[in-house]
Amino acid sequence: MEDVLLIDDDVELCSMLKDYLVKYGFRVSAVHRGDTGLKAALDYRYSLVLLDVMLPGIDGFEILKRIRADSAMNVLMLTARGEDVDRIVGLEIGADDYLPKPFNPRELLARMRAILRRTAAAGTSNEHIVLRVDDLELDSAARTVVQNGRSVELTGVEFALLEVLMHSPGKVIAREELAEEVLGRKFNPLDRSLDMHLSRLRKKLAEGSSHEDRVKTIRGMGYQLTIHRNQSEAKD
Amino acid sequence: MRGLFFKIFVIFWIAQSLIFIISTALIVQHRFPGPDVLMDSLFSSLRNQGRESVDAFETGGCGSLRAYAATHGQIIALTDEAGKNICPEMPDLASGNGDGTRFQDHIVGRQVGQQYVWSAPVTSATHKNYVFLLAQLHSPESHGPNPDLLRFAFPQLPVAIAVGGATTFVLVLLFTRPLVKLRKAARELAHGNLRTRVTESASKSSFFRGDEFQALVHDFNHMAERLESLVGAQQLLLRDVSHELRSPLARLNVALELAREDADPDTEIETHLGRIERETERLSKLISQLLTLSSMEAMNQVNNFGPVLLNELIHQMIPDAEFEAQQRQCTVSFHAGAECVILGNRELLYRAVENVLRNAIRYTKENSEVEIRLAIVTEEKGGVAVLEISDRGPGIPEGELSSIFQPFYRVDRARSAETGGFGVGLAIAERAVKLHHGEMRAYNRAGGGTTIRLQLPLAER
């Protein structure tokens, strides 16, 4: 049973979504105000938070910012459709994914599962893999990333992205491949979420490193993790 | 506007100059007697002298006539009707007088040698006819333009015309300058820039403030403001309605899914629910397009500017487009004449091109080809990327070619229901192209079909 927190001011929608998600094995708690929603999100470690943007009390972006201040909890934003600003801002602040309203519930389910799969992948894996590239060290079992001895706090998507990139450092990985492997869906040129996640990842990696730009964008092709020193991959 | 300026200036100046010339001429004529007046007085004095000399001759003969001539110091003579000199010792003024033999009943002047001779018929108290002849050394002035006019008007008239020209220039400038400003603003407004305002004259002097042109500028600004607020209100309404529709639609989606879960998949309910779902999806798509359009209309500038390679952008959308085209047994071909890099927002450009392309695929005939052509055209302002997307559809009536970019505009209402468009896609595309300072036009192709041409200024290298 996965615990899901639904923060949305549409009471009726919440009750229907609850009915729907329960059928697929989620335990859903619904909150209809921003301030109480934030409190609920900080009080208990949910597997996933479904967060609407327009909320009474505090808005969704603010809630996301406060959640991100002290945890990498999975957050899926339900944004306004047609407003590019909303979803870009959401991804910039660090949402794992977004879904424009009105959405198809099956699509919502698929996205929720993709997010949870990423988080769960490591836990169920028997192998304990530690990837090392230059000053970066990624432990897929413990889900930790250490850079120059300093731990880097990454969200689920960012972690998954870095993992894929670190598996083949120096190699250009196509956007299509990254989208399918990390986001769990087909690449869509209009979907900027991959870019946003990567730019957040880049920012976080740049904070503790002397190298500028660890993740390079190869125009029209994909992304590449640059190597500066020797690389190594260790298995214990 | 130069035309109007020139016209008003020339007409005013000519009119003013004519007024100056005519009034000067009138003054000259009034002040100086004209040639007719001179002649009249000359003739009457000739007649008087003729009568007096005839009197002198009749009373005292030739001696008395000579005495009369001596007192007046003039060269005179008298002839009879036949032109024969009465007093032979008097100068023969009649000779050389071509038709001196014939008696003339009016005064005639003739050049005889160096002299100018006037001959006036005189009838004496005894009813005898004579001809009085008077010689002058010089011919009288006049005949031809009166030189007094030019002499009188010389420095003043040209100066007056020049000053008139200068004042007319200033006057016309006062007229046309605000007109030029207004026209420019009106054109901007017509182009869709509803924020256009005419700057009201900041001149502090109360002389220029409050004239009709200032009032017109004020009214124009008022009109533009009203227009902006009305259009803004309409866009806001559209946006708000679309926004408000999202919540019920989201609920509908979930309710539908719940119903599907409970429905028996083998019954007819399932097909009904499938239909409802399709319609709901259409509705969602329409709302999302409307929201895209209204958010783009609220934009004045594209943000997230960056270099975008059009060739790559098009290559990216071709697989999906081909898939869509295959379902109608159509093909998509892309002919790239050049590499076009544009400074812009990738997403907006993608949307613009994709909407046009999808539209073409939707309308083209079965078993036909949709062509995409990309080329660079150099214009005076710099390089322009020209992207043409051509279909083999039914075409568009000539009169409606420019209207198809309006939201919800559809050429054939019956057809569009079957093709499943809303008529918002092209409006979105046009708005996106405009945000990139480009242009979008539609043409009918020879041999049937439509070409949509997108022109986008290239990024400067």
**Arithmetic mean of pLDDT, A53-61:** 86
Are B281 and A220 a contacting pair at CB < 8 A?
Answer: no
**Which CATH number covers residue A22?**
3.40.50.2300
β-partners of residue A31 are A7
pLDDT band of residue A232 (cuts 50, 70, 90) is very low
Joined tokens for residue A3: 């615990």
Selected residue of B243, B254, B311, B318 to mutate for chain A interface (largest A Cβ count, 10 A): B254
Q: Which residue of A has its CA nearest to B286?
A: A82
Which chain A residues have a beta carbon less than 8 Å from that of B255? 16
In the listed set A105, A122, A139, which residue is the last one of a domain according to the structure? A122
Are A111 and A169 within one domain? Answer: no
State residue B252's pLDDT score: 92
Are A110 and A195 within one domain? Answer: no
Q: Report the amino acid identity of residue B29.
A: Q
Q: How far is CA B155 from the centre of its chain?
A: 38
In the listed set A68, A94, A122, which residue is the last one of a domain according to the structure? A122
Strands A129-133 and A97-101: unpaired
Are A82 and B295 a contacting pair at CB < 8 A?
Answer: yes
Joined tokens for residue A100: 């424009």
Are A189 and B317 a contacting pair at CB < 8 A?
Answer: yes
- In the stretch 104-163 of chain A, residues with CB closer than 8 A to chain B read 104-106
The answer to whether B341 and B378 are in contact (CB under 8 A) is no
Provide the residue count of chain A: 236
In the listed set A90, A107, A122, which residue is the last one of a domain according to the structure? A122
B353 touches chain A (CB under 8 A): no
B235 touches chain A (CB under 8 A): no
State residue A231's pLDDT score: 44
Are A80 and B242 a contacting pair at CB < 8 A?
Answer: no
State residue B254's pLDDT score: 92
Where do the domains of chain B lie, and which CATH numbers do they carry?
Answer: 33-136 (3.30.450), 206-298 (1.10.287.130), 302-457 (3.30.565.10)
By annotation, the residues of B acting in catalysis are 243
Which chain B residues have a beta carbon less than 8 Å from that of A82? 242, 287-292, 294-295
In what helix (H) or strand (E) does residue B64 lie, and over which residues does it extend?
Answer: helix B35-72
> How far is A81 from A83, CA to CA, in rounded Å?
6
The answer to whether B395 and B443 are in contact (CB under 8 A) is no
Walking along chain B (461 residues) 10 residues at a time, the average pLDDT comes out as: 78 89 80 71 84 83 82 79 73 57 68 76 80 72 53 76 88 82 87 80 61 84 91 83 84 91 82 88 84 77 78 87 88 88 86 90 88 88 88 84 81 56 82 88 88 88 61
Are A107 and A180 within one domain? Answer: no
Count of beta carbons in the 10 Å neighbourhood of residue B156? 11
B10 touches chain A (CB under 8 A): no
The answer to whether B1 and B180 are in contact (CB under 8 A) is yes
DSSP designation for A70: H
Which chain A residues have a beta carbon less than 8 Å from that of B261? 20, 23
Q: Which residue of B has its CA nearest to A18?
A: B254
Q: Which residue has the higher pLDDT, A202 or A50?
A: A50
CA distance A21 to chain B (A): 10
> How far is A19 from A28, CA to CA, in rounded Å?
9
Instruction: Name which of A203, A13, A3, A95 is nearest B256 in CA terms.
Output: A13
Are A171 and A116 within one domain? Answer: no
First to last CA, chain A: 31
Are A166 and A92 within one domain? Answer: no
The beta-carbon neighbor of B246 closest among A12, A81, A106 is A81
Are A155 and A45 within one domain? Answer: no
Strands A172-174 and A75-80: unpaired
The domain of A113 spans: 2-122
State residue B308's pLDDT score: 86
Q: Which residue of B has its CA nearest to A103?
A: B250
Are B250 and A102 a contacting pair at CB < 8 A?
Answer: yes
Are A172 and A115 within one domain? Answer: no
The beta-carbon neighbor of B287 closest among A10, A81, A104 is A81
Selected residue of B257, B303, B431 to mutate for chain A interface (largest A Cβ count, 10 A): B257
Number of domains in chain A: 2
Size of interface A-B (CB pairs under 8 A): 72
Are A147 and A106 within one domain? Answer: no
Reported ipTM: 0.77
- In the stretch 11-30 of chain A, residues with CB closer than 8 A to chain B read 12-13, 16-17, 19-20, 23
Are A102 and B246 a contacting pair at CB < 8 A?
Answer: yes
Are A91 and A184 within one domain? Answer: no
pTM, two decimal places: 0.62
Are A102 and A134 within one domain? Answer: no
Are A85 and A145 within one domain? Answer: no
CA distance B428 to chain A (A): 12
For B122, list phi and psi in degrees, rounded to 5: -130, 135
DSSP designation for B404: G
Query: From its phi and psi, is residue B333 left (phi > 0), alpha (psi between -120 and 50) or beta?
Result: beta
Instruction: Name which of A90, A98, A96 is nearest A154 in CA terms.
Output: A96
State residue B188's pLDDT score: 87
pLDDT band of residue A233 (cuts 50, 70, 90) is very low
pLDDT band of residue A19 (cuts 50, 70, 90) is very high
Q: How far is CA B53 from the centre of its chain?
A: 76
Are B252 and A13 a contacting pair at CB < 8 A?
Answer: no
Joined tokens for residue A129: 């893999």
**Which CATH number covers residue A191?**
1.10.10.10
Which chain A residues have a beta carbon less than 8 Å from that of B313? 189
Sheet holding A97-101, edge to edge: A26-31, A2-7, A48-52, A75-80, A97-101
Are A101 and A12 within one domain? Answer: yes
